[in-house]
Amino acid sequence: MEILSANLNSCLNSRKEDGRLMTPYVMSTHSEGADFASNDTLSLSSSRALSKAFLEELDRNPGFEIGSGSSRSLSGTTEYLSNLEDTLRDFHGAEEGIIFNSGFDANVALWSTIPQIGDVVLYDEYVHASIHDGMRRGRAHTQPFRHNDCGDLRKRLTELKTDEGVAEGQKVVFIAVESFYSMDGDVVPLEEMVKVAKEMLPKVNTVLVVDEAHSNGIVGPNGSGIVSHFGLEGQIGLRVHTCGKALGSTGGRNYEYSPFLTQLTVTAVLLCNKAVKSYLINYARNAIFSTAPTFVTLAGIRAGYNLLASENGHQVCCYCTIM
């Protein structure tokens, strides 16, 4: 361990000398001041609105069992999980939805599994690290385009058309973007990108994929996202909606339930079609080899969506009361 520690400290010291060492900031020491740091943008967590909705959801399910017992691919798909995925699918206007333990997990599953050999992924140069990690494990050729630059996207698509498989529509070209970019706060020119993709590849072998991590809850009808805002549900093949940001990350406040809720609300739903959902359950390593989300995790998600979708924050469907 001493040699290992010395090696690690050598790297950390080098980062420190560059002024880049990250030393997590202890939030509770500033809990009296205003929050200009957390992703809890709707203040659902810090206001305790989510805590209340979560406890109400527990009350509606007095017989709940905490554990899911197994992975998604085996017996971990509980009725509650299946019903929740149906609710999220309907809320966001998609054909199917599949819940992952985090947005990071959803992106790794998607990008490491769905693009096939011969396919191409064009990605905005500023997309999230989890998309990079997934692509690195995947089998498709990957290539960046300049941030939010439809001209550069058009150029890359033009170049790809020299590949007969792409031009003739046998190979799929994925385009990976985010709705709001988390470090710049700017917005994807989504409608224009849809137009460019259609113009350049009229055989419709492009799949636009939008990570809605920072738009879920704060854009579109009832906060259903940027794709729903533009009514592009039918044009955008895949969407990743995380539940840990506007839907209730804790905001670092030292409230009674907040540390607990942090764990509940870091999950994500990947909106897709039946083929993609079935493929992920069969091939995504973190769906196969990781335990499915627990009941409390899922109840946290439902509580967040109840706040988005109903006038008084109560349940959005009837079956969540049955236990």
Partner 1 sequence: MATRYVVIVPSCEDERLTIGTKRRHKLERNVQLFHRLLQEHPTWQEGSKQDILSIADGATRLSGPFYCPIIAMVTRPGESDNLADAIRGAGYSINPVKYPLVPKNLERVRIMLHADNTDGQLLDLVQVIAGWLKERIE
Kindly list the residues in this chain that would bind partner 1 in the complex (CB under 8 A). Answer: 19-20, 25, 27, 30, 32-44, 46-47, 49, 180-187, 214-215, 217-219, 222-223, 226, 229, 251-252, 307-313
Nearer to partner 1, 31 or 263 (CB): 31
**Closest approach of Cβ 73 to partner 1, in Å?**
33
Q: What are the DSSP calls for 253-314, one per residue?
A: ---TTHHHHHHHS--EEEEE-HHHHHHHHHH-HHHHSSBPPPHHHHHHHHHHHHHHHSTTS-
Sequence length of the chain is 323
**Cβ pair 294, 300 in contact under 8 A:** no
**52 vs 195, which CB is nearer to partner 1?**
52
Q: How far is the CB of 181 from partner 1 (least distance, A)?
A: 8
Q: Which is nearer to partner 1, 45 or 206 (CB)?
A: 45
Q: Which is nearer to partner 1, 228 or 294 (CB)?
A: 228
The CB-of-15 to partner 1 minimum distance in angstroms stands at 10
Min CB(124)–partner 1 separation in Å: 14
Q: Give the residue with the Cβ less far from partner 1, 115 or 217.
A: 217
If the CB atoms of residues 59 and 311 are measured against partner 1, the closer one turns out to be 311
Nearer to partner 1, 95 or 133 (CB): 133
CB atoms within 10 A of CB 293: 24
Provide, rounded to whole angstroms, the least separation between the CB of residue 138 and partner 1. Answer: 22
Cβ atoms of 210 and 178 within 8 Å: the answer is: yes
Biggest CA-to-CA distance, the chain? 61
The dihedral sign for the CA sequence 28, 32, 35, 36 = negative
| CB of residue 127 to partner 1, shortest distance in Å | 13
d(CA 117, CA 172): 10
CA distances from 38 to 103, 202, 300, 304 (A): 17, 42, 18, 17
Phi, psi at residue 124, to the nearest 5°? -60, 135
- Cβ atoms of 268 and 217 closer than 8 Å: no
The distance of closest approach from Cβ of residue 164 to partner 1 in the complex, given in angstroms and rounded to an integer, is 37
**Nearest partner of 210 among 194, 196, 221, judged by Cα:** 194
